[in-house]
């Protein structure tokens, strides 16, 4: 028998805070806003989603409890884990039961594939109570199956009809919620009485806008990473002989890296979006990094901490061009490339197919990086950047520069390094109080969007910097967040990722301090997540959110 820790017992007893609108349960009314349009490519998105395009945003306000009828709802977890997923399902369950005690919640197992393969369980209170306020997605499992074929859509509809399911809730990131929008449109086109609701999940923090102020899990993950970074900073400041280069999750945006930098004050931090805006080359980044090493060595400090985002390599213009060309080339010649067993021959075949300038860059890469760039693609046809050792590539380039400076008598320090990648460490932690509250409310809100047949909407909770009592709930049309992007050699509708705003207060606060942090050892050691204590400690919001709403 498993021994339950005191923290696990305490977290199971935690009661998420609710805003005033839900103090009387689901006694509310819906207020509609103005019709919406997609963030870009309006005509293309409208043509692809004619039945769910242009819907108004909706907000829940206090009112009388309608005479709800029982509702059968299904839920899936899609994509990578994020702290708080279990609470979304708990909030969804509680909301459905508050509307009508005979409502049922089914969980399709293993993500979208469970939906197509009809692999499910019925979720009851006893089972859900085991998972309240815990990390992970193990309550029903997750997966990354892409729903993009007609036979898949038909299978999902058939399986839902067989169970009498009237609403489907998809908990996931931008690609998963794009899947949800595609399903909502398909069901509408075929007059299927099946509502589809999305819930914004990703620790990367890149699924947000004016209606989605934060994606769940970001708060917890950045606090976990910041604790680890602080531990390494303390070690670096103790040993005083190592440079620690830390790669952080964030393929398509640098929100995690920026938040962790604001929390810990490392010596050098790279923000991918700034690299792209300045059109920096690999060598220019290495030169900038090298200068920080030299400056600290001149002060007798041959140690430091560096943060870089996982997806940096795709933001370097010359590398982005190379990777885009590689993605298209590998999609077009997939069978031939897969048939070449010898890696050197594979690299040479690919080099010959590239344009001259990209082929030159590709051939200049260290062997291990060149091979990592042509590894198996993800389900969307993109390079798996988490497998590319960008941190080691930068160390290699910096060492080359330092060796040259030393030969010229312009550097007399030492550059010993350790590289780290913090990713999985932050995905399944016990959610912070903020994420426990936020995710529970996202689920509760999704239940009300479902019962009101708001298909094609994403659950929305706003005013997050205020106390939970003042949070605003409702829904935002998923098509409002869409644009067209190149995926696997084809134009695809996707929910646009939110990048770091280089004019925003979080980034500008970082810029105003980074020169000082580079020269001085001014580390902050944030310590572990606090679940108990004064509200200003245990309910603290991310620095990013606080600065964005000042």
Q: What three-state secondary structure class fits 246?
A: strand
Residue in this structure with the two tokens 């309910």, named with its chain if needed: 539
d(C-alpha 198, C-alpha 449), whole Å: 10
Q: CA nearest 354: which of 381, 380, 324, 384?
A: 324
Q: CA nearest 62: which of 97, 31, 34?
A: 31
d(C-alpha 274, C-alpha 253), whole Å: 11
Neighbours of 493 (CB within 10 A): 21
Neighbours of 187 (CB within 10 A): 23
Q: CA nearest 362: which of 334, 323, 390?
A: 323
Is residue 541 within 8 Å of residue 464, measured between CB atoms?
yes
Q: CA nearest 155: which of 123, 103, 108, 198?
A: 108
Residues in Cβ contact with 24 at an 8 Å cutoff, skipping those fewer than 6 apart: 62, 65
Work out the angle at residue 177's Cα, subtended by the Cα atoms of residues 311 and 424, and round it to the nearest 5 degrees.
Answer: 40
User: What percent of the residues of the chain are helix, what percent strand, and what percent coil, each to the nearest 5?
Assistant: 45, 15, 35
d(C-alpha 132, C-alpha 8), whole Å: 10
Is residue 310 within 8 Å of residue 267, measured between CB atoms?
no
Is residue 194 within 8 Å of residue 187, measured between CB atoms?
yes
The DSSP call for residue 139 is T
Q: CA nearest 218: which of 80, 378, 98?
A: 80
Helices (H), 36-84: 42-48
Q: Is 503 exposed, middle or buried (0-12, 13-18, 19+ CB in 10 A)?
A: exposed
Residue 487 CA to chain centroid, in angstroms? Answer: 18
d(C-alpha 454, C-alpha 52), whole Å: 10
Q: Two tokens at 278?
A: 């300045």
> Which residues are known to be catalytic?
204
Q: Two tokens at 200?
A: 């914004």
Length of the chain: 550
d(C-alpha 156, C-alpha 115), whole Å: 6
d(C-alpha 38, C-alpha 481), whole Å: 6
Residue 81 CA to chain centroid, in angstroms? Answer: 9
Largest CA distance in the chain: 82
d(C-alpha 300, C-alpha 413), whole Å: 8
């Amino acid at each position: 028998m498993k021994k339950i820790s005191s923290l696990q017992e305490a977290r199971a007893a935690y009661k998420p805070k609710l805003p005033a609108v839900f103090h009387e349960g689901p006694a509310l009314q819906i207020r509609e806003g103005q019709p919406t349009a997609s963030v870009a490519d309006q005509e293309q998105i409208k043509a692809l989603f004619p039945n769910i395009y242009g819907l108004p945003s909706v907000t829940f306000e206090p009112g009388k409890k309608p005479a709800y009828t029982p509702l059968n709802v299904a839920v899936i977890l899609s994509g990578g884990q994020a702290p708080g997923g279990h609470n979304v399902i708990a909030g969804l369950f509680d909301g459905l039961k508050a509307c009508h005690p005979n409502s049922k919640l089914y969980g399709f197992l293993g993500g979208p594939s469970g939906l197509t393969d009809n692999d499910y369980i019925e979720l009851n209170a006893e089972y859900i109570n085991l998972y309240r306020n815990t990390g992970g997605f193990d309550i029903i499992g997750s997966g990354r199956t892409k729903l993009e074929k007609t036979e898949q859509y038909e299978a999902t509809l058939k399986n839902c009809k067989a169970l009498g399911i009237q609403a489907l809730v998809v908990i996931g990131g931008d690609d998963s919620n794009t899947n949800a929008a595609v399903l909502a449109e398909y069901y509408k086109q075929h007059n299927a009485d099946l509502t589809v609701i999305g819930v914004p999940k990703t620790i990367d923090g890149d699924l947000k806008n004016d209606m989605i102020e934060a994606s769940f899990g970001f708060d917890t993950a950045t606090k976990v990473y910041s604790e680890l970074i602080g531990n390494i900073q303390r070690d670096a400041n103790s040993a005083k002989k190592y440079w620690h280069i830390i790669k952080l999750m964030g393929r398509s945006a640098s929100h995690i890296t920026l938040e962790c930098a604001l929390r810990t004050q490392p010596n050098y931090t790279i923000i991918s979006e700034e690299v792209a805006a300045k059109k920096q080359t690999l060598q220019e980044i290495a030169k900038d990094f090298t200068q920080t090493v030299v400056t600290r060595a001149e002060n007798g400090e041959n140690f430091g901490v560096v943060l870089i985002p996982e997806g940096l390599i795709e933001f370097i213009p010359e590398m982005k061009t190379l990777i885009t060309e590689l993605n298209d080339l590998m999609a077009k010649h997939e069978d031939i490339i897969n048939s070449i067993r010898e890696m050197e021959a594979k690299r040479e075949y690919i080099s010959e197919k590239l344009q001259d300038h990209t082929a030159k860059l590709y051939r200049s890469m260290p062997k291990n990086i060149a091979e990592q760039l042509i590894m198996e693609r993800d389900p969307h046809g993109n390079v798996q950047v988490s497998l590319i050792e960008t941190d080691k590539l930068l160390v290699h380039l910096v060492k080359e520069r330092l060796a040259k400076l030393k030969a010229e008598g312009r550097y007399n320090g030492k550059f010993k390094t350790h590289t780290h990648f913090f990713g999985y460490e932050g995905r399944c932690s016990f959610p912070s109080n903020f994420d426990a509250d936020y995710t529970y409310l996202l689920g509760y809100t999704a239940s009300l969007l479902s019962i009101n047949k708001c298909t094609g909407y994403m659950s929305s909770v706003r005013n997050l910097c205020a106390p939970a009592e003042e949070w605003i709930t409702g829904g935002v049309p998923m098509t409002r967040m869409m644009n067209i992007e190149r995926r696997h050699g084809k134009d695809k509708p996707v929910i646009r990722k939110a990048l770091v705003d280089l004019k925003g207060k979080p980034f500008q606060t970082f810029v105003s301090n980074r020169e000082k942090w580079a020269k001085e050892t001014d580390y902050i050691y944030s310590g572990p997540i606090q679940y108990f204590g004064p509200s200003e400690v245990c309910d603290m919001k991310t620095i990013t959110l606080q600065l964005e709403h000042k």
